[in-house]
A and B are shown apart, each in its own frame.
Chain A
Amino acid sequence: MSSSEPPSSTPGSSANPSVSSNDVEPRPARRTVTLAIVVGGCAIAAATAIPAAAFVSAPIASKGAAGRWVRTLRLDQLVDGEPKRVAIVDDRRDAWTIERAVELGSVWVVKNGDEVSAYSAVCPHLGCSVNVAPGAGAGFACPCHTSAFAPDGKRKSGPAPRDLDTLATRIEEGFVAVDFRRFRIGIPEKVEA
C-alpha cells in the first residue's frame, strides 16, 4: 500500500515548494481540478447507484402470472342462475418460492342453461373482493365502496370504472375449467396486469 512509501515520493508536491494557496493557483488549472473532482465523484456515485437502482426497479419489468386453465368444481355442482364462488388452486411461483396446489384467488361461476360464465372476484374499482348481493338474482356487490353489478357482471352503480372482468370457461371431463387471469385495477379498460 502507498502508506509504506517514503513520504518524499508524494506526487505533485514539488511543483510549488514554498507557500501555496488557492489564490496563487492559476485559474484554468483550478477549474480543471474542480472538473476532475466532480467527474470522479459522479463516476463513484454512478458505479454504485446505477446497479442499485437497476436492482430496486427490477419489479417494474415483471409481468403478472400468465393466464392458465384451472379446473374448479364439477358442472353438476352448479345450480342454474346461482353464482358460486370457487377457489382457484394451482402452483404458485412467488419470487424464490414455489408452492404446490395453493389457493391463488377465487372467481364467481354462474351457469345459465348450457352457458357457464366466470367473473373475477376482484372489484375493478380498487381490488376489494366482490360478493353476491343479498337476494336471489340480485347480482354482485362490492363490500368496500358499494359498487353494484348485475347478475351478468354489468356495472349497475357505484364507483367501479368498468363491468366485472369476465374469464373464459370450458368444460373438461365434467369439470368447469377457468382461464384464470388478473387485470389492472381502477381504469375503465380491461387490461391484463
Chain B
Amino acid sequence: MSLLRRLGDFVDQRTGHRALLAHALDEPVRGGARWAYVFGSALLGSFLVQVVTGIALMTSYAPSEKTAWASVHYITFIQSGGWLVRGLHHFGAQAMVVVLAAHLTQVALYGAYKKPREVTWWLGLSLFAMTLGFALTGYLLPWDQKGYWATRVATNIAGTVPVVGDATQKMMQGGAEYGSLTLTRFYALHVAVLPALLVLIVSAHVALFRKHGVTPSARADLTRVELFFPKQLLKDVVAVLAVVAVVFVLAWREHGAPLDAPADPASDYPARPEWYFLALFQLLKYFHGPLEIVGTVVLPAVLGAYLFALPLLDRKPGTALRGRVGPLVPLALIAAGAVGLTLQAQHQDAGDEAFQKERLKADERATIANRIAKEGVPPEGPLAMMRRNPDLRGPELFDKHCTACHTLGAHGADKDRTAPKLDGWGTEAWVLAMIHDPDGDARFGRSIYKGEMPSVDVPSPDSPPTFKPMAAEDQAAVAAFLASFGDTAPPRDPAKAAKGKTIVAERCTTCHLFEGKGDDSDEGLAPELSGWGSVPWIRAQIANPATNATYREHALDASRKGHMPRFDGEIRAEDIDLLATWLHAATRR
C-alpha cells in the first residue's frame, strides 16, 4: 500500500493528477444526485462504445464500391468476433439516438436550456445534428441495398435545397453520381470529420455544463448539495451499464447486424430509412410537386429554428413547468408528430401487400448473396458475383426471355402459355407422362407439335394395324434411361436404364434422332434423344434449337412458325450457361 502511495506521490508531484481528479469528482450537485441527470453521461458512455467498436471495424473495412460490401460480409460472417463488434456498433448507434431524445426531453422539461445556459443548449443541438450525421453516413458504409437506397434519398433531398442544393449534393456524393467517391467521402466524414468535431464540441458542452452546474428541479431542496462522487457517479455508471446491456442483448439476439444484398443501382428496391428517420420519410408523402420542399427543407428548418430559439422564447424566470407551457407546446407537438408519423409509416407498410412482396424478394436475395459470398467475392465485386450465380441470374433470365411461352413454378402465367410447362421436365415421371399422352395440356397440347408425336400405349387413327401398346415395364425402362442424362447421380438401376437404351434405339428412332442417327420416316421433326435433359442439351436448345443437337435443322423454317426461337444473339453465352444450369436444377425441384 505504501508503495502504491509513493508511486502516487511521484506521479502527483509531476502531473498534479490528484487535484485534477478531485476537481472532476467533487463537482457539487445542487439539490442532490438524481436519475434525471444520467442521460448526458449515458450518451458519453455509448459514444465511447462506438469509438472502440468503430476503430476495431476500421481494421477490416475497405471503403470502395467493389470491396465495401464484401468486407462487411467478411466482418459479419467470417472474422471471429466480427458479428458481435458490428452488432454492438449497429445497435449502439440506435441506442445513442434514443438516449439523445431522452437527454433533450429531460433538459427541456427541467428548463436546463434557460439563461445562462443557452450556449450549452445550442452546443447540444449541434451535437444532436452530428449524431444524426453519424447515423446517416454510417448507414451507407456497408454499401448494401438498404443503406444505398436510403442514403440516395437523403442526398437527393439535400439536392432540393434552393441555391446551395446542387453543390451540396455533389460535394457529398463526390460527383453527380453515386460511386466509390461517395463511399470514401462518407467514410471520411464518419471516421474523421464528425468524430473530431464531436469531441471538440462535447468538450465545450461539458465544460459549460460544469461552469453552470446542474439545473435542479423547481421543487428541489437547494440547501442540499451532494458531490458528483459517489452518488451521482454511481447512477451514471448504472445508466451506461444499462445502455450497454441493452445494446449487447440486441446484438446477441440478432447475431450481429443485418446485411442486405449488395447495392445494385439497376435493381428495384423498396427503400426505407432506419426507423428514427421514418417520420421524416413519411412527411415526404404529403407534399407533392412544388410543395415538396416543405417536407424536405422548410419543416425541418422550422423545427431547427424553434429548438434554437427555445431559450430566447422562454425568458420568464423560474424553471417550474407550469410557467413554461407556452414555449414547450411546439416541442410536445413535434414529439407527438414524430411518433404519429413513424407509426403511420409502419402501419402503411404493414398493410401494403406490394411492399411486403418486394421486401420478401429483397430478403431472399440478401440470403442468397450472404450465402454465396462465403466462398469469396471476385475482385470485380459482389455484383459480378451475383451476376454469375445461376440461382440469382437464372430466374431473372427465365422471367425475361422464357415466360412468353413457358411456365415453371411461379414463373410465367399459364393463360399465356403456348409451350410445355417445365415443372418436372427431364424427370422419369415427366417422360412417362410424355410417352403416354404427348398432347397433354402441360406438354405438347398447346404447342405446334400437338398431334405430331404418337402415344406408345394408346393407338391413334394413324396407327398401323400392327400397333402394339408398349408394356408398362418397358415404358419405365425408357423413362429411367432418358431421365439418366440429366441426373447428376448414376442410375439407381443400371440394367433397367440399359434396357431402356435398347428400346429407345429400336423403337423411337422412327422419328427421333438418337446419337445422331435415326429418323427413318425422314420427317425432320423429332429431336435428338441422347443427352436429353442434360445441361449441355438445354444450353444447345436455348442457343439454337435447329442444329440437330436438339431439335432439327428445319425447326426454325418459316413452315414451323411458333417453334421455340434461338436466343444466341439475344442472350450472352455466359447467361445461356447460367440459365441452362438453373433450369436443369429448377425443373427437377
A residues adjacent to B (C-beta < 8 A): 1-5, 7-8, 10-13, 16-22, 25, 30, 33-34, 36-37, 40-41, 43-44, 47-49, 51-52, 54-56, 58, 61, 93, 95-100
Contact = CB atoms under 8 A, between A and B. Distances in A.
B109 A3 contact: yes
- Among A95, A98, A99: residue with most chain B CB under 10 A: A95
Contacts of B36: 2-3, 5, 7, 10
A62 B56 CA distance: 17
B82 to A, nearest CB: 6
B79 A17 contact: no
Nearest to B227: A22
A98 to B, nearest CB: 3
B79 A55 contact: yes
A96 B373 contact: yes
Interface in B39-93: 39, 45, 48-49, 52-53, 55-57, 59-60, 67, 70-71, 73-74, 78-82, 84-85, 88
Given A3-B109, A48-B49, A54 B237 contact: no
B53 A43 contact: no
6 contacts: A13-B34, A16-B224, A37-B237, A41-B237, A52-B52, A52-B85
A55 B56 contact: yes
A98 B375 contact: yes
B80 A12 contact: no
Interface of B: 32-36, 38-39, 45, 48-49, 52-53, 55-57, 59-60, 67, 70-71, 73-74, 78-82, 84-85, 88, 101-103, 105-106, 109, 217, 219-221, 223-227, 229-231, 233-234, 237-238, 240-241, 244-245, 248, 373, 375-379
B377 A56 contact: no
B217 A51 contact: no
A96 B259 CA distance: 15
Given A2-B35, A2-B36, A51 B378 contact: no
Contacts of B81: 51-52, 54-55, 58
Contacts of B226: 20-21
A28 to B, nearest CB: 13
A43 B241 contact: yes
A33 B105 contact: no
Given A7-B34, A93-B376, A98-B378, A54 B80 contact: yes
A96 B74 contact: yes
Nearest to B237: A40
A66 to B, nearest CB: 16
A3 B73 CA distance: 39
A7 B230 contact: no
A91 to B, nearest CB: 9
B544 to A, nearest CB: 29
A96 B105 contact: no
A1 B220 contact: no
A13 B241 contact: no
B234 A33 contact: yes
Nearest to A98: B376
A3 B100 CA distance: 12
Contacts of A41: 237
A27 B577 CA distance: 80
Given A44-B45, A44-B240, A17 B224 contact: yes
Given A12-B231, A44-B241, A51 B85 contact: yes
Given A13-B34, A18-B224, A96-B71, A7 B219 contact: yes
Given A34-B230, A37-B237, 11 more contacts: A2-B36, A2-B38, A20-B224, A20-B225, A36-B237, A54-B81, A55-B56, A55-B79, A95-B74, A97-B377, A99-B379
B220 A7 contact: yes
Nearest to A61: B80
Give me the 8 closest cross-chain CB pairs, A-B, nearest first: A98-B376, A3-B106, A54-B81, A96-B74, A40-B237, A52-B56, A7-B217, A96-B70
Contacts of B52: 48-49, 52
A48 B71 contact: no
B33 A12 contact: yes
B146 to A, nearest CB: 19
A34 B230 CA distance: 7
Contacts of B53: 48, 51-52
Nearest to A3: B106
A99 B80 contact: no
A19 B226 CA distance: 8
B109 A51 contact: no
Given A19-B223, A20-B224, A48-B244, A96 B230 contact: no
Contact of A52 (B38, B55, B79, B245): B55
A93 B375 CA distance: 9
B59 A56 contact: yes
B32 to A, nearest CB: 5
A126 B81 CA distance: 32
Nearest to B103: A3
A87 B240 CA distance: 56
B237 A44 contact: yes
Given A95-B71, A96-B376, A98-B375, A20 B82 contact: no
Given A36-B234, A98-B377, A99-B379, A47 B224 contact: no
A52 B82 CA distance: 8
B223 to A, nearest CB: 7
Contacts of B221: 17
A52 B55 CA distance: 9
B56 A22 contact: no
Contact of B85 (A13, A33, A43, A55): A55
A8 to B, nearest CB: 7
